[in-house]
């Protein structure tokens, strides 16, 4: 793995290890949050989905704020403060789940954790862009995804087993690991960006309106894809557990397969994608994603669930680095944080709005083919929308990509 990523700035490796550890802590509990709200707190799927949707909307606000702050004050400070505050919410969640599992209080803490996670993400992505040349940017995003998914290969497996013991224990261990990741960033990471002095740059939310029309179209057209892919950590898990009867330990193993695939395949696929038109990559990834989610309706056991995970993960491996690299490509150098923040808002609205939409469909349709067919159609909408963007920008993008590769 390291052999393919030689030559990166040392700070990329600080990000790598912090994201790996944070991935373990986050994924111990994240695939099972909706299951926890439903089984332990008695919420319906629609209510649990609504809670996560509200948390996602607040998290989307965090994306926008984090991007603006990262451009105004630098990346590192935003990353350190947001990680520490998110870790604190995990500690409070562990305490609440252990001693006073009250629905409203836990919902508020979940919302705060998503907000601070939202603040962190655009600053992190902007730092990755700062530390890499355009020709290696897709690889750089791939590297951090490898780190996150090494963690995600371990976390759900361990978490699925811990949950069989107790949810409070799982929340507690997640909080401890999250603090370790935050400490690494706080102690070892240095700044990558010198902000433009005040007076030379339009501050705050006033600058949000000055976004390229092509970027806004891209955001609009990717929203349906995020509504579909957001089922991954919510409806997907509950469907497998409740309707198919697959236990959490097996589900954890299947989620671990996702992480293993990203570790093994992200680097070569990212390199291959670097030489392709990014809109074509988005189209292909969206179609693969849709096929994977449609086939969830056919799941009868853990083996079938693993097959859907393989297909869904292939879509993810294509879409995630391409969408981040394309956002940076469309952004001016001094507005990367803002653009990544806006894109984070869109993805957050999609991901967490998806929990409410998926919950409503789950409560409405007993027929899995109808439910997953509707959800899969969202990804196909994005795939079709990429065609005019590709045709409109083909010459310009291919010329830019060719120059970058050289």
The answer, yes or no, to whether residue 2 has pLDDT greater than 50, is no
Residue-level pLDDT at 70: 86
Whole-angstrom distance, CA of residue 248 vs CA of residue 29 = 11
Residue-level pLDDT at 225: 93
Q: Which residue has the tokens 């993008």?
A: 397
- Top-confidence range, 146-155, 305-314, 353-362: 305-314
For the chain, what percent of residues have pLDDT higher than 70? 91
Q: Span 284-289, mean pLDDT?
A: 94
Quick one: how many helices (H) and strands (E) in the chain? 14, 0
User: CA-CA distances (angstroms) from residue 255 to 80, 134, 164?
Assistant: 28, 32, 16
pLDDT tens readout for residues 342-384:
887 788 777 767 877 888 898 888 888 999 999 999 999 999 9
**Phi and psi (nearest 5°) for 178?**
-60, -40
The answer, yes or no, to whether residue 3 has pLDDT greater than 90, is no
Q: pTM score > 0.75 for this model?
A: no
Q: Span 152-163, mean pLDDT?
A: 84
What token pair was written down for 118? 């939202």
Residue-level pLDDT at 264: 87
The answer, yes or no, to whether residue 402 has pLDDT greater than 50, is no
Confidence bin at 10 (pLDDT 50/70/90): confident
Q: Span 46-67, mean pLDDT?
A: 82
Domains defined for the chain, CATH in brackets: 11-191+212-405 (1.20.1250.20)
Whole-angstrom distance, CA of residue 389 vs CA of residue 364 = 35
Q: Span 94-99, mean pLDDT?
A: 84
Residue-level pLDDT at 390: 81
pLDDT tens readout for residues 198-254:
554 544 445 555 788 888 889 899 999 999 988 887 789 889 888 888 887 888 888
Confidence bin at 404 (pLDDT 50/70/90): very low
DSSP code per residue over 36-78: HHHHTS---HHHHHHHHHHHHHHHHHHHHHHHHHHHHH-HHHH
Reference 148, options 171, 164, 124, 130; nearest CA is: 124
When comparing pLDDT for 1 and 52, which is higher? 52
Whole-angstrom distance, CA of residue 90 vs CA of residue 85 = 9
Confidence bin at 401 (pLDDT 50/70/90): very low
Read off the DSSP letter of residue 208.
G
| Cα 303 to the center of its chain, rounded Å | 25
- B/e letters for 394-405, b = 16+ CB within 10 Å, e = fewer, are eeebeeebeebe
């Amino acid at each position: 793995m390291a052999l393919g990523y030689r030559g990166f700035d040392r700070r990329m490796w600080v990000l790598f290890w912090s994201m790996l550890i944070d991935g373990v802590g986050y994924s111990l509990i994240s695939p099972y949050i909706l299951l926890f709200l439903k089984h332990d707190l008695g919420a319906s799927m629609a209510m649990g989905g609504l809670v996560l949707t509200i948390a996602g909307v607040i998290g989307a606000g965090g994306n926008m704020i984090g991007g603006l702050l990262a451009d105004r004050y630098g990346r590192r400070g935003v990353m350190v403060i947001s990680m520490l505050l998110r870790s604190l919410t995990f500690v409070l969640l562990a305490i609440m789940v252990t001693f006073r599992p009250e629905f409203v209080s836990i919902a508020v803490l979940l919302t705060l954790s998503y907000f601070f996670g939202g603040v962190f993400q655009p600053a992190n992505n902007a730092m990755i862009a700062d530390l890499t040349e355009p020709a290696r940017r897709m690889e750089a995003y791939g590297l951090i995804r490898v780190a996150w998914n090494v963690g995600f290969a371990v976390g759900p497996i361990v978490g699925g087993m811990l949950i069989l013991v107790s949810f409070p224990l799982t929340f507690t261990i997640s909080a401890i690991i999250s603090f370790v990741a935050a400490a690494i960033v706080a102690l070892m990471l240095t700044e990558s960006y010198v902000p433009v002095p005040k007076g030379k740059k339009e501050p705050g939310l006033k600058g949000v309106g000055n976004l390229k029309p092509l970027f806004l179209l891209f955001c609009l057209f990717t929203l349906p894809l995020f509504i579909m892919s957001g089922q991954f950590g919510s409806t997907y898990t509950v469907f497998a557990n409740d309707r198919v009867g697959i236990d959490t330990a097996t589900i954890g193993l299947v989620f671990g397969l996702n992480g293993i695939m990203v570790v093994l395949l992200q680097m070569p696929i990212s390199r291959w994608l670097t030489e392709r038109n990014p809109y074509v990559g988005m189209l292909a990834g969206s179609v693969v994603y849709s096929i994977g989610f449609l086939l969830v309706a056919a799941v009868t056991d853990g083996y079938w669930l693993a097959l859907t995970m393989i297909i869904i993960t292939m879509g993810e491996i294509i879409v995630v680095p391409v969408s981040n690299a394309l956002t940076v490509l469309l952004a001016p150098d001094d507005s990367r944080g803002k653009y990544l923040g806006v894109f984070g808002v869109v993805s957050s609205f999609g991901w967490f709005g998806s929990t409410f939409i998926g919950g409503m469909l789950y409560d409405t349709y007993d027929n899995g083919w109808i439910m997953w067919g509707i959800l899969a159609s969202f990804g196909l909408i994005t795939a079709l929308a990429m065609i005019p963007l590709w045709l409109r920008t083909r010459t310009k993008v291919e010329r830019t990509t060719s120059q970058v590769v050289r």
